[in-house]
Structure 1
Amino acid sequence: MSRKYRIRDQDKLYFVTFTVVEWIDLFTRREYRDIFLDSLRYCQEFKGLDLCAYCIMSSHVHMIIGRNGEQPLEGLMRDIKKFTSVKILEAIKASSTESRKEFLLWYFGKAGRANPNNTHFQVWQQHSHPIELNTNEKVSKCLHYIHQNPVEAGIVLSQEDYLYSSAANYAGLNETLIDVILIE
């Protein structure tokens, strides 16, 4: 792993990206997005995750995260990926309406067999490329990038209209899916 992408200071905020293997559009289903949000809520409440910003796109998730407990950020990211992988795979296997069931299980199985760290399935790419946000300029750029993602993708015209993003939190709207710690 490149030195550029290591977490050196556990007390800083980091911009991270979780990407589905092969950039598969997994998060087109609400059920899978909700599994991801449930994992974040759990880590906020019980594991010391400070979630400052997020955006769940179809094939990846961007976040600005920190910690307020003893668990290292690498451990928090590992736990989120592990939990969501297991729960999403369970949901796919149990679904009677998932039209892409065979396709998703085949790709996740192929990725898992190709990775010596796995034995069966792999949902997430291994790297998360954490970037330390050690200046106000980096924080502003990453926050803008995260919230503009669905606008740039042509999903919404205004960033606060995208439901699976913290842009509504930053716009001061009452209807948000998860609490975040606003960066000032």
Structure 2
Amino acid sequence: MSQSYTIQDQSAPHYLTFQVIDWVDIFSRKIYRDIVIDSMKFCRSKMGLEIYAYVIMTNHVHVIWRASNDNLSVVIREFKKFTGRTIIEAIQNEPESRQYWMLKRFEFAAMRNVRNSCHQFWTHENHPVELYSKKFIEQKFNYIHANPVRAGWVEKPEDYLYSSARNYANENNLMEIDLM
């Protein structure tokens, strides 16, 4: 693994991207987006995760996170493990028209990697980038919050419910974050 894509300082804030295997558009459904939100809330309240920014797109999630317990890699691993397992269970147990196709994609991905059991939901890469300057932080915030605008879903970043742009605009939001 390239050193540029590893977390060197476990206590520093990082820009991260979590991608669904094969870019499956899982988060087009509310039930799966809510699992991600609930897991971020849990990590924030129980694991010392500081959440500065996030956006949930149809097949990936962008965040700016920091771990107050100097264990960002551990928090990421637990977040991805829990959300992946919980989303797979929801696909299996809830009405889902794409059930067979999605489960086969996740099963096939798991067969390609010995670290997986039956299914692999997330890719193993997170592309962590340590945030080192005010200008770079602003660039990443703007990129995260503009994602739904670039996708053509909303006109303004704060109009998208599954984004921390709402927190910064003092709009009703889905969860508390740590304002930067």
Deviation at 1:114, TM superposition (A): 1.0
Q: Which residue of 2 aligns with 1:65?
A: 65
TM-score, structure 2 normalization: 0.98
Does the CA-based 8 Å contact 2:11-2:69 persist in structure 1?
no
Task: Write the deviation string for residues 100-124 of structure 1: whole angstroms up to 9, x where unpaired.
Answer: 0001100000001111111210000
Cα distance in 2 for residues equivalent to 1:172 and 1:48 = 24
Q: Deviations over 1:145-180 (max 9, x none)?
A: 00000000111111000000000101112x100111
Which residue of the partner structure matches residue 36 of structure 2?
36
Name the SS of the counterpart of 1:62 in structure 2.
Answer: strand
Aligned residues: 180
Identical amino acids, percent of aligned pairs: 42
Provide the C-alpha distance between the structure 1 equivalents of 2:86 and 2:144, rounded to a whole number of angstroms: 25
Structure 2 unpaired stretches of 5+: none
Letter aligned with residue 91 of structure 2 = I
C-alpha distance in structure 2 between counterparts of 1:143 and 1:24, whole Å: 25
* Alignment deviations for residues 68-98 of structure 1 (CA, whole Å, 9 cap, x no partner): 125x111100000000011101100001x21
CA RMSD across the alignment: 0.8
Note the alpha carbon deviations across 1:49-80, whole angstroms, 9 max, x for none. 0000000000000000001125x111100000
TM-score, length of structure 1 as denominator length? 0.96
Match of 1:168 in 2: 166
Judge conservation of contact 2:10–2:73 (CA < 8 Å) in 1: no
Residue 14 of structure 2: aligned partner: 14
Alignment of 1:26 with 2:8, yes or no, is no
Which segments of structure 1 move beyond 2 Å, counting only runs of 4 or more?
none
In structure 2, how many angstroms separate the alpha carbons of the residues matched to 1:147 and 1:63? 10
Letter in 2 for 1:176: N
Deviation at residue 33 of structure 1 after TM alignment: 0.5
Q: Shift of residue 11 of structure 1?
A: 2.1
- The corresponding residue for 1:125 is 123
What code does the residue aligned with 2:23 have? W
Asked whether the 8 Å contact 2:10–2:72 carries over to 1, the reply is yes
* Whole-angstrom distance in 1 between the partners of 2:105 and 2:27: 15
